[in-house]
Structure 1
Amino acid sequence: MLILQNIISDRGSRYAVSGGPCASGEAAQAFLAQLKRNKKFAKATHNSWGLLTEDGPIKNDDGESGAGMVILRMLEREGLTGEIVVVTRWYGGKHLGGDRFRHVQDAVRIYLDARKDATGA
């Protein structure tokens, strides 16, 4: 599991991104349960995620409407199957409007770059 914390901050909201190998919806739930063992992530406002499996795409916005689809589109463009990406947001008290989608995209991009650096792939 790769976790990158405090990667984006905007108007009080803070973002983190994490991910790792995952092959199914059940494995995604297990991944999230493991992530939320860290109380900081358990208390997050949103843990939005996307996953491309052999059976098709799976996503969950976790209240951050549209975020799961943004993550899925980026995974599809990258051709990354079998790896979950979770974008975590701690709400800072001010609405971000459309900027929240840009932050989700930036978070996924940061994860993908860190993953490439770590694996060399």
Structure 2
Amino acid sequence: MQVFDRIITDRGSRYAVSGGAAASREEVAALLAGLKRSKRFARATHHSWAAILSGEPVKDDDGETGAGTLILQMLERAGVQDHVVIVTRWYGGRHLGGDRFRHVADAVRHYLHETGAGQGAG
């Protein structure tokens, strides 16, 4: 699993993005569990994620309504399969409104750029 921590900060909220190869829901669950073994990540407010596993789209907002759908759309556009991307947020006490979607999208873009996932697709 690759983790890019503290990539976005806004009004006290902090974001990280991580991910790795996953071919099943069990592998996604194992990657999430591994991430949460870190005390810092265990204390996060949301771990929104998405993946396309053997052609089947799966996602979880983890309380950040719409975030899983946005991540999934970005993975579909990039042609990324059998790979989970997790956007982690530590809520800073102030609502971000629509900016939270921009931050989720920016986090996924950061991950795709840094890892090269989805390159050549499209």
Structure 2-normalised TM-score?
A: 0.94
Greater shift in the superposed pair: 48-57 or 103-112:
48-57
The reply to whether residue 12 of structure 1 matches residue 19 of structure 2 is no
1-structure distance, mates of 2:23, 2:103: 26
2-structure distance, mates of 1:74, 1:45: 22
Map 1:19-38 to 2 at 5 A.
Answer: 19-38=19-38
Shift of 1:39: 0.8
Q: What corresponds to 1:89 in structure 2?
A: 89
Q: What corresponds to 2:70 in structure 1?
A: 70
The answer for unaligned runs of 5 or more in structure 1 is none
Percent identity between the two aligned chains: 60
2:58 corresponds to which letter in structure 1?
Answer: I
In the TM superposition, structure 1's runs of 4+ consecutive aligned residues that sit over 6 Å from their partners are none
Shift of 1:16: 0.1
Q: What corresponds to 2:98 in structure 1?
A: 98
CA contact (8 A) 2:11 2:94 kept: yes
CA contact (8 A) 2:21 2:82 kept: yes
Q: What corresponds to 2:112 in structure 1?
A: 112
1:114 corresponds to which letter in structure 2?
Answer: E
Superposed CA RMSD: 1.4
2:95 corresponds to which letter in structure 1?
Answer: H
1:58 corresponds to which letter in structure 2?
Answer: V
The answer for unaligned runs of 5 or more in structure 2 is none
Q: For 2:85, what is the secondary structure of its paired residue? A: strand
Greater shift in the superposed pair: 23-32 or 101-110:
23-32
2:94 corresponds to which letter in structure 1?
Answer: K
Q: What corresponds to 1:47 in structure 2?
A: 47
Shift of 1:55: 4.5
